[in-house]
Amino acid sequence: MRPKPRSISITSGKGGTGKTTLAANLGVALSAMGKKVTILDADLTMANLALVMGIDQIKASLLDVIKGRAKLSEALRESHGVRLLPAGFRFEDAHEALVGVDRKKVRQVIQDLLSSSDFILIDAPAGLQETTILSMAAAKEMLLVCNPTYTSIVDGYKVLRFAGLMGCWARGVVVNRVERKSEVPPEEIEEFLSRAYEGIHVLTEIPEDRKVQEAELHGMPFVVYDPDCKASEAIYKLAEIIVGKADPPQLQQSSLTETSERLIRVLTGKL
Ligand code: ADP
Ligand code: MG
């Protein structure tokens, strides 16, 4: 029997943490493992998933489908083995998206896509704006992307609290752009974020890797551009964890540093 299709929203507190990069590359990695993957660009105002996937012209967008101007089949594109439902690039599209999208329609699109996918990855906008909430509500699982900095994990904390309230299963955290001298180590990130969402784990650390931006300039996912680079290795490991072929890393137990303790007090209002 075919396993149940899974919908995963890729979310973060602030923009620029690496959501689009992760959605594209994880999608291609899952597809290389034989899974049928659809990636949906739900970042309606700051769409760029299609560019990262090497598509620079789109015929119809998610917004066109939501608004009934195009059929789903007209908007879907194929790139590097995955199906892609792009959002519009034009300023007018972004403006229209802000004016309001119909929640029911978005759910319907996802429902339609689920029947022909093993995985739907949703590239969500940052923060807790309307379309982020929508993406979280429409997906069963959520991956939180954060950078190893205190500001990034504070934002992630709020997103996780929110996921919990909405009944969305936070599958885990991806720490992106990790360097040797990173501000916060992964075990502290795990401990910090578990105060927002019990039992949350760091699934992968993706290193800072210049190949990521090089690939972007070539309009290619980095797992295709350089399958052996450090960032690609991390993505393939994550794909194995997502499909249940590997376990997440066991991080050492950590106690919070003074900085983390102070931030938790600020976040919880318990001074
Ligand atoms: P978001 O979708 O969360 O706004 P993006 O995926 O667009 O973030 O990433 C923001 C920028 O950071 C891009 O220019 C991307 O190439 C770069 N980037 C993301 N991850 C890495 C990494 N691991 N190493 C180096 N650069 C990265
Ligand atoms: Mg993005």
Atom of ligand 1 nearest to the CA of 177: 23
Reported as a single tens digit per residue, the pLDDT across 36-72 is 999 998 877 767 899 999 998 888 988 888 888 999 9
Reported as a single tens digit per residue, the pLDDT across 158-176 is 999 988 888 889 999 999 9
More confident residue, 255 or 25: 25
Residue nearest to atom 19 of ligand 1 (CA): 18
More confident residue, 270 or 143: 143
pLDDT, position 197: 95
Mean pLDDT of 187-209: 96
Q: Which bound ligand lies closest to the C-alpha atom of 177?
A: 1
Query: Quick one: 258 exposed, middle or buried, by C-beta within 10 A (0-12, 13-18, 19+)?
Result: exposed
Domain ranges of the chain: 6-268
Pairing of strands 82-85, 77-79: antiparallel
Reported as a single tens digit per residue, the pLDDT across 225-246 is 999 999 999 999 999 999 999 9
d(CA 154, CA 11): 14
92 pLDDT higher than 80: no
pLDDT, position 127: 67
Most trustworthy range by pLDDT among 68-72, 103-107, 189-193: 189-193
The CB of 218 under 6 Å from ligand 1? The reply is no
pLDDT, position 164: 83
Mean pLDDT of 79-92: 85
The CB of 19 under 6 Å from ligand 1? The reply is yes
Question: Taking all residues of the chain, what is their mean pLDDT, rounded to a whole number?
Answer: 90
More confident residue, 186 or 162: 186
The CB of 12 under 6 Å from ligand 1? The reply is yes
223 pLDDT higher than 90: yes
The pLDDT > 70 percentage for the chain reads 90
The CB of 13 under 6 Å from ligand 1? The reply is no
Atom of ligand 1 nearest to the CA of 215: 16
The confidence band for 153, taking pLDDT boundaries of 50, 70 and 90, is very high
Q: Which residues surround ligand 2, an ion (CB under 5 A)?
A: 19-20
The confidence band for 27, taking pLDDT boundaries of 50, 70 and 90, is very high
The CB of 11 under 6 Å from ligand 1? The reply is no
The model's pTM is 0.94
221 pLDDT higher than 70: yes
pLDDT, position 98: 63
CATH code, 6-268: 3.40.50.300
